[in-house]
Chains A and B, each alone.
Chain A
Amino acid sequence: MYSRWYKTLVTVPPLAWVILFLVLPYLLLFSYSFFSVRSGTIVHHGTLANYSTLLHNPMYVSVLLRSLRIAAIVTVLSLLLAFPLAYYVSFHAGRRKDVLYQLVIIPLWVSYLVRAYAWKTILGGGGVLNALLQHLGFSPASFLLYSPFAVVLTLTHIYTPFAFLPLYASLEHIPRSLIEASTDLGASSWRTVRTVVLPLALPGAIAGATFAFVLSLGDFLAPLLVGGPSGLMISNVVVSLFGAAYDWPLGAAVSLCMLLLVLAIVFAAGRLEKRYGLS
């Protein structure tokens, strides 16, 4: 048994941290979402006007829908890339396993900005891809940069490792004897993947999908750097509301909606993971 003194010592600092840097800011955000702005100053007087704006101004709804769509596409693409990669590294890489695993991890050490800028260099008007196209005698393609396509590409590149890690972990936990049992019972490798590996990797896939979806839904740097006006996402709106527009109350309302959405997704994913996890 630990002493009361020891228990207090280890619980108070993290609790204080959470209250100071998470609970208080959220409470502030929550109260700000009911204020309003009149002639450049924030009026501390309760109103639901911000939430009504969100519902009735089609701009916010359409940006939110676009963000959801981009996040969904990024999630699907990340999973499609991460699963074969994780499957290969976990089941067939043999001695190269550790090296390959590190190769997936290393990009995470490189600054996010560098990776996003890299795509700008590749996709841009004078970029690598267009230079190649011109060299081959084609006219440069302008849809590459400053488009939702560029955002999806960049986000997929950045968040695939996040989908990979939980998937890989769940594949590593599949007893290899199950694979042997499956082939012993006459199943082809494809059938084994479909009926044994995939169902058992489902919790990892759900966790990976949650990472990819939530992280890309809230991303604002990739749309800022490679998105252009047609590739703006909801976080860019929040940034501009808190910045140039100086409408903190509306920004707070948008943020809170996002927060609730993300919490709902994380909660639902947690439930799904439990349901499909090994009991």
Chain B
Amino acid sequence: MSLVFDRPLLSEQLTMAATEVLETMFFASVDTASDEAESPVGDRIGASLDFHGACAGRLALSLDRATAEGLASNFFGGVGEGGAEEDSQSVMVELTNMVCGAMLSHLDRNSIFCLDTPKQLEPGQEPTGEIVRDLSLEDGLLRLAFSLQESAPKVDAH
């Protein structure tokens, strides 16, 4: 079975997966979620991850650096030996991994997906994809982008 490109469903699942991960492991809440709005500004960092298996695609996200440092502090319970910069980079990678895994698992519980190792985005690079969602956190904006390969069947149900 492969995923069907149902934009509203994927958009909803993307938001749900990110919210679940943020609340459970980073003790952060999502205030609002919306489709891509204005281009985020400021000093931002991000990561992306390719997945394959029943279906292939990519998930990427970005966050302003200060918020990433706050999430890292929540995740680790303090700042590590490598400092806040290293912590925030590694947390972005973990956040990407967990959001992607949670989303795919919710979408198709009967297939096996393999997640590649997440990669950091270049400084200033914002994630792009067929579906882009902006999640407003307490003091920052998390941008999520999700794409399926063209082989994924598309439906126009909405």
Q: Do A and B bind each other?
A: no
List A residues at the B interface (Cβ < 8 Å): none
